[in-house]
């Protein structure tokens, strides 16, 4: 019998914006003094892959109910919300999913977002995370639409293993072609994300490092996380990033590099021979909640304050109910000012979100 999990149900209510309007100042902070700087927008809950750690086929099967088109935020609605977030201090927008390149005419949305300006008049960093399967044919139009950079997920170079991990028979060559196309059109530097699952693909760490060393692409290793409720996560399958670095340094000497920004999630390591860098994202073993400036907007317009949240705030209900931009800005300000989420820091402690609080949202729904 297959497990039925309904990760989309949550207890969110339409946010309150009564009792005075607060104009955005770009200086919003939460209860832990973290500003709002990044917005991740999931543009679809659908995907053409069935990665075993994200959308396992036994859950996301042919009976799985994806959202109907009418439930998705339209491009106009996304742009409107994004504009308010930018007024509140957001400088970087990442489109994600599901697989964002499956959303029809995604270029039109990118064009609109690329026109937004920060209160100081600077353009935003508009990026996208993709599984790469459609990137070769879309790279040029994405660049033309104003996309700044792209992050491509690739978990193995071994074709048979990669096909098993994506569980949809996509070949490594398709993704490598996508990376090459992105580099060729100037969506650079391309970042390549590899989720490391101990016992599944950790033997690919050194081959991946060898392949991308000197290529101009920045390979980043992500610790396998306990997101969502359907991937059957187990700590024994997490390979700590420190061991990833050790394994690579055995073959290619590395030296630590400074972070680009305080909010950077990856720790950077440079090859001592000057042929580029790698990053490690230690979401499990070295939590970075203290500098987490990210908000997430789900496919159907719910605002989540943490990847591990169990409930979101229904911004779609607000805007479809006729709220003004001022009311939306006030609601977002109230929500962010009340934020105290720091799941990864608390993981394992009694105060961490427990499964009894309700199912956590799936990564494919709020995006990585």
- Closest approach, Cβ 304 to ligand SAM, in A, equals 13
Q: Which of residues 51-70 bind ligand SF4 (CB under 6 A)?
A: 51, 54-55
Q: Does an H or E element contain 335, and which?
A: helix 325-337
Q: List the strands of the sheet with 38-42, edge to edge.
A: 254-256, 267-271, 277-281, 218-223, 191-196, 149-153, 125-130, 92-96, 38-42, 294-297, 302-304, 313-314
Distance CA 245, CA 252 (A): 10
368 binds ligand SAM (CB under 6 A): yes
307 binds ligand SF4 (CB under 6 A): yes
Which of these segments, 11-19, 127-135, 136-144, 325-333, binds ligand SAM (CB under 6 A)?
A: 127-135
Which of these segments, 48-56, 79-87, 199-207, 215-223, binds ligand SF4 (CB under 6 A)?
A: 48-56
Strands 267-271 and 254-256: antiparallel
Closest CA to 42 of 125, 102, 114, 116: 102
44 binds ligand SF4 (CB under 6 A): no
Which of these segments, 66-74, 225-233, 243-251, 267-275, binds ligand SAM (CB under 6 A)?
A: 225-233
282 binds ligand SF4 (CB under 6 A): no
Position of tokens 């109907």?
68
288 binds ligand SF4 (CB under 6 A): yes
Position of tokens 């309007």?
21
Site for ligand SAM (CB under 6 A): which residue of 12, 44, 127, 130? 130
20 marked ligand binding residue: no
Tokens of 257: 């590099």
367 binds ligand SAM (CB under 6 A): yes
What are the strands, taking DSSP E only, across 206-257? Answer: 218-223, 254-256
Please, which residues bridge with residue 35 across strands?
29
Phi-psi region of 349 (alpha: psi -120 to 50; beta: other; left: phi over 0): beta
What is the DSSP track for 259-280?
-SSTT--SEEEEETTSS-EEEE
292 binds ligand SF4 (CB under 6 A): yes
Interface map 102-141 toward ligand SF4 (x if CB under 6 A): -----------------------------x----------
Phi-psi region of 169 (alpha: psi -120 to 50; beta: other; left: phi over 0): left
In this structure, what DSSP letter does residue 343 have? H
Query: Which of ligand SAM, ligand SF4, none lies near 225, with the C-beta cut-off 5 to 8 A by kind?
Result: ligand SAM
Site for ligand SAM (CB under 6 A): which residue of 12, 44, 127, 153? 153
Query: Which of ligand SF4, ligand SAM, none lies near 288, with the C-beta cut-off 5 to 8 A by kind?
Result: ligand SF4
131 binds ligand SAM (CB under 6 A): yes
Whether residue 278 contacts residue 23, with contact meaning beta carbons closer than 8 Å, is answered with: no
Closest CA to 275 of 194, 218, 220: 218
Query: Which of ligand SF4, ligand SAM, none lies near 85, with the C-beta cut-off 5 to 8 A by kind?
Result: none
Catalog residues that contact ligand SF4 under the rule CB under 6 A: 47, 49-51, 54-55, 97-99, 131, 153, 287-289, 292, 294, 306-308, 341-344, 364
Binding residues: 40, 47, 51, 53-54, 94, 98, 129, 153, 191, 225, 289, 292, 294-296, 306
State the residues that interact with ligand SAM by CB under 6 A. Answer: 47, 53-54, 96-97, 99, 129-131, 153, 193, 195, 222, 224-225, 227, 231, 363-364, 367-368
């Amino acid at each position: 019998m297959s497990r039925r999990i309904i990760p989309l149900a949550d207890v969110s209510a339409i946010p309150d914006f009564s009792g005075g309007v607060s104009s955005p100042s770009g200086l919003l902070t939460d209860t832990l003094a973290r500003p709002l700087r990044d917005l991740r927008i999931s543009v679809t809950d659908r995907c053409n892959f069935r990665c075993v750690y994200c959308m396992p086929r036994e859950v996301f099967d042919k009976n799985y109910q994806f959202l109907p088109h009418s439930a998705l935020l339209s491009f106009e609605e996304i742009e409107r919300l994004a504009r308010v977030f930018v007024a509140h201090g957001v400088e970087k927008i990442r489109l994600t999913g599901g697989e964002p390149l499956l959303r029809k005419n995604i270029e039109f949305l990118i064009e609109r977002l690329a026109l937004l300006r920060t209160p100081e008049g600077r353009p935003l960093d508009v990026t996208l995370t993709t599984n790469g399967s459609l990137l070769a044919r879309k790279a040029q139009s994405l660049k033309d639409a104003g996309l700044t950079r792209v992050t491509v997920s690739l978990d193995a170079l071994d074709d048979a293993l990669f096909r098993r991990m994506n569980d949809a028979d996509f070949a490594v060559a398709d993704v490598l072609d996508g990376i090459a196309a992105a580099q060729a059109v100037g969506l650079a530097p391309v970042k390549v994300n590899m989720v490391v699952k101990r016992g599944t693909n950790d033997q690919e760490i050194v081959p991946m490092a060898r392949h991308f060393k000197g290529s101009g692409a920045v390979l980043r290793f992500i610790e396998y996380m306990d997101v969502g409720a359907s991937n059957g996560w187990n700590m024994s399958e997490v390979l700590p990033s420190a061991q990833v670095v050790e394994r690579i340094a055995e073959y290619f000497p590395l030296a630590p590099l400074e972070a680009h920004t305080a909010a950077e999630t990856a720790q950077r390591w440079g090859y001592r021979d000057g042929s580029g860098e790698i990053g490690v994202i230690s979401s499990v073993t070295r939590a970075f909640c203290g500098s987490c400036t990210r908000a997430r907007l789900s496919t159907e317009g719910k605002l989540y304050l943490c990847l591990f949240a169990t409930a979101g705030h229904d911004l779609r209900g607000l805007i479809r109910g006729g709220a003004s931009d001022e009311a939306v800005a006030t609601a977002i300000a109230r929500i962010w000012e009340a934020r105290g989420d720091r799941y990864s820091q608390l993981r394992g402690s009694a105060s961490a979100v427990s499964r009894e609080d309700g199912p956590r949202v799936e990564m494919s729904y709020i995006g990585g």
